[in-house]
Amino acid sequence: PALLRRSVSFCPVFASVTGACQAIQKLTRVRVVDNSALGNTPYHRPPKCIHVYNKTGVGKVGDRILLAIKGEKKKALIVGHKMPGPTMTPRFDSNNVVLIEDNGNPIGTRIKTPIPYSLRQREGEFSKVLAIARNFV
Amino acid sequence: RISSDGKPDKFQPPPKPVIIDKLKQIEERRFLSPEFIPPRGRTDPLKFYIERKDMIQRRKVFNIPEFYVGHVLAVTTADPCADNKASRFVGICIQRGGKGLGATFVLRNVIEDQGVEICYELYNPRIQAIEVLKLEKRLDDNLMYLRDALPEYSTFDVNMKPVTRLDHEEIPLNTLQVRMKPKPWSKRWERPKYNIKGIRFELPENKMKEAQKWSQPWLEFDMLREYDTSKIEEKIWKEVSEALKK
């Protein structure tokens, strides 16, 4: 997501106010990483986030989001984003997402791309997603 | 041997063999980690002195090897959520930042077609081991352009064996010219501000000329930006080497 620079112009001193760098928010294009049919069949529009289930509208690793894929709404779990996080955590080159049902069951059967170890802390919610993951970083 | 006179020459003993003591040569080469050098500013030197003491304390317990940007490292960290409580990551060092105890280095690798970068803190007690797998200096200080380069330049085998170092002298310089993905890039690397020598630019001539418009040739002559670290380095090197020998 591009940084937005706005400048405050109604006060005598000009101040440039940068928009905060967001990880995954509404209308970000994401990459589905599991081997589900819905995620891998090509479509003329990329899957986009339409809602983040969070108090702030910003999604980090381990947050649930609502995705619009192939004209359908589907929930998904964020497994990696391009924004740098806390030190010692991995930063991925693409915003990765795993498709999920409402109760937390993943739709795909295998996840080839590496998943951060920090998701293991919330083993209770994501145990099934972690079970199908192959590589951990 | 008969000299030009015709009389036999005095016996000349063969030249004595020159013994190169490798141990002495190791001592000759000095390497001071860049995070020891304090940044330019008006902070009290006492703060840097205390930080250096803590850094030396950590280095006595845990060996941090000498490494530069472009080396391939393997880092094992303690992680409560990983199997065996330890996680290992192999990658090329693309950037070394921060001064003092907050010094960081970023390792990059491409695993299963996904680029992963991890920023590690050098003095974090969670780090259990740092091994240098491949020693290689690159043409630049900052290899952030590898994000926009073809992924083959950032892929390194996770089970790579450490390359043995024969000479205890120079670290080889890799003059590799990296090929990039098509534009747009995350940063305009052709601009002279980044001063990158390690990319093989395949852009047309007019684009390269246009990039030179942003050059600031007066910057190298700016006296207020000068920061001569040679004397500071000497002092700190003496201090650190004496403390580490104890």
Residues A16-49: tens digit of each pLDDT: 433 345 689 999 999 999 999 998 999 999 999 9
| Residue B145 per-residue DSSP state | G
Environment class of A28 (CB within 10 Å of its CB; exposed 0-12, middle 13-18, buried 19+) = buried
CB contact under 8 A, A87 and B124: yes
| Interatomic CA distance for residues B81 and A123, integer angstroms | 9
Sign of CA dihedral A62, A68, A70, A72: positive
| Interatomic CA distance for residues B101 and B11, integer angstroms | 64
Confidence of residue B74 (pLDDT cuts 50, 70, 90): very high
Domain boundaries defined on chain A: 26-130
Confidence of residue B167 (pLDDT cuts 50, 70, 90): low
Q: Token digits for A49?
A: 């986030």
CB contact under 8 A, A87 and B112: no
Which residue numbers of B have CB closer than 8 Å to A's CBs? 77, 79-83, 87, 89, 104, 111-121, 124, 126, 147
Q: Token digits for A34?
A: 């599991």
| Residue A117 per-residue DSSP state | G
Pairwise pLDDT comparison (B201 vs B29), residue with the higher score: B201
A-B CB pairs within 8 A amount to 64
Mean pLDDT of B41-60: 94
Instruction: Give the predicted TM-score (pTM) of the model.
Output: 0.83
Residues A92-112: tens digit of each pLDDT: 999 999 999 999 899 999 999
CB contact under 8 A, A94 and B114: yes
What are chain B's domains? 34-53+64-173 (2.30.30.790)
- Contact A121/B at CB under 8 A: yes
In angstroms, the separation between the Cα of residue B118 and the nearest Cα of chain A is 5
* Nearest one of A86, A95, A84, A77 to A133, comparing CA atoms: A77
The CATH classification number of A26-130 equals: 2.40.150.20
Mean pLDDT of B118-147: 92
